[in-house]
Amino acid sequence: MVDSVKVGMISFAHPHAFSYAQAVRATPGAELVAVADHESGVAASVAEQYGATPFTDYQDLLKQELDAVIICSENARHAEFVMAAAQAGKHVMCEKPIATTVEDGWKMIDACREYGVKLQTAFPVRYNQPVRRAKELIDSGRLGRILAVQGTNRGQNPGRWFVQRDLSGGGAVLDHTVHVVDILRWCLGSEVRSVYAEIDSRFGATDIDDCGLLMLEFENGVMASHDPSWSRCKSFPTWGDVTLEIVGTGGVTRVDATAQHLLAYNDATGRHTFEPWGDNFDLGLVGDFVACVRDDRAPSITGEDGLRAMEVALAAYESARTGQPATLARTR
């Protein structure tokens, strides 16, 4: 057990990085020591904001006395950074999706196993209390046998590298499917058997997918639908949503992960804003990662969890391409 977990962060390309940095600072027993970004201005600005040492070369960051790193780069660079961190002996939390190909996902997992470091996938919605309560209801049997689930993770088009396929690996379907699939795998204790998907680009000026509708069949017989679209306009008061409607033989429950909020109306600005007052998902995620490093236990959300969720998103693209359901071929 370590007294204080020293954390470094590699890349601030993903907007979640700033929330994770704040979460590290707010977590007892954790210290944000170093940050790296290939843009020197970003590295310097972030370092000043969070009281860390800046680097433009992530390899220089990995030479520092760190226990763990958090990686928030473009999706296509996750494998490079995770494998380098593993070789340097640093435990890793990696932003979702874990990678853009199954091959890269397994390389990351294998590297972390080889060098004896932990790999946690960043799925913060697991730390939302309404979602956790839904899992408790399922586990307790109060909803009976689960028959079907309707899920959404709709949001706004982030632009930037998210719409550059060589960096993102895919659009809305890859970006948002992994969240809900991870929640469903966790709550149902079952893997996805097949997926049928309709995917298109309807809301933006780019040709990358920004909308989709997925139908999932789980190995335990549960059917689920999922809308991962970037369908929220710029004036929408928050980034999006995570919702579930869970239907069982003993009852139905509805979950809205962002329902803990106020809408504030301001005559001075002529706008209304979304003011959350409830759970801080990212604080729960980062706090759990720090605890698993400090206590030397297995991550709550493993690299394989990240890979299984990514496999479903990639299968959805295959289904949309062929017009037929895609069967999940379990790799390993």
Which residues sit opposite 121 in a β-bridge?
94
pLDDT at 133: 96
Distance of CA 55 to CAs 48, 164, 226, Å?
12, 25, 40
pLDDT at 1: 64
Q: Do residues 269 and 108 lie in contact, with contact meaning Cβ atoms separated by under 8 Å?
A: no
Residue 257 has pLDDT above 90, yes or no: yes
Q: Which two tokens stand for residue 284?
A: 């729960």
At a CB cut-off of 8 Å and minimum separation 6, what does 170 contact?
Answer: 100, 208, 209, 313, 314, 317
| Phi-psi sector, 89: left (phi>0), alpha (psi -120 to 50), beta | left
* Residue with the larger pLDDT of the pair 233 and 132: 132
* Residue with the larger pLDDT of the pair 186 and 3: 186
Q: How far apart are CA 148 and CA 279, in angstroms?
A: 26
pLDDT tens digits along 21-70: 999 999 999 999 999 999 999 999 999 999 999 999 999 999 999 999 99
Report which residue type is found at 182: D
The per-residue DSSP string of 317-329 comes to HHHHHHTS-EE--
Residue 224 has pLDDT above 70, yes or no: yes
With the C-alpha atoms ordered 191, 194, 196, 199, is the resulting torsion angle positive or negative? positive
CATH code that applies to domain 126-280+311-327: 3.30.360.10
Q: Do residues 274 and 291 lie in contact, with contact meaning Cβ atoms separated by under 8 Å?
A: no
Q: What are phi and psi of 192, to 5 degrees?
A: -75, 130
Q: What pTM value is reported for the model?
A: 0.95
Q: Do residues 303 and 112 lie in contact, with contact meaning Cβ atoms separated by under 8 Å?
A: yes
pLDDT tens digits along 186-219: 999 999 999 999 999 999 878 899 999 999 999 9
- Cite the residue boundaries of each domain of the chain with CATH code 3.40.50.720: 5-124+282-299
Q: How far apart are CA 29 and CA 45, in angstroms?
A: 24
pLDDT tens digits along 282-322: 999 999 999 999 999 999 999 999 999 999 999 999 999 99
Q: Do residues 21 and 29 lie in contact, with contact meaning Cβ atoms separated by under 8 Å?
A: no
pLDDT tens digits along 91-106: 999 999 999 999 999 9
Q: How far apart are CA 259 and CA 257, in angstroms?
A: 6
At a CB cut-off of 8 Å and minimum separation 6, what does 42 contact?
Answer: 12
Residue 143 has pLDDT above 80, yes or no: yes
Cis-peptide into 97, omega within 30 deg: yes
- CATH 3.40.50.720 for the 5-124+282-299 domain, yes or no: yes
- Cite the residue boundaries of each domain of the chain with CATH code 3.30.360.10: 126-280+311-327
Mean of the pLDDT values across residues 239-256? 95
pLDDT at 304: 98
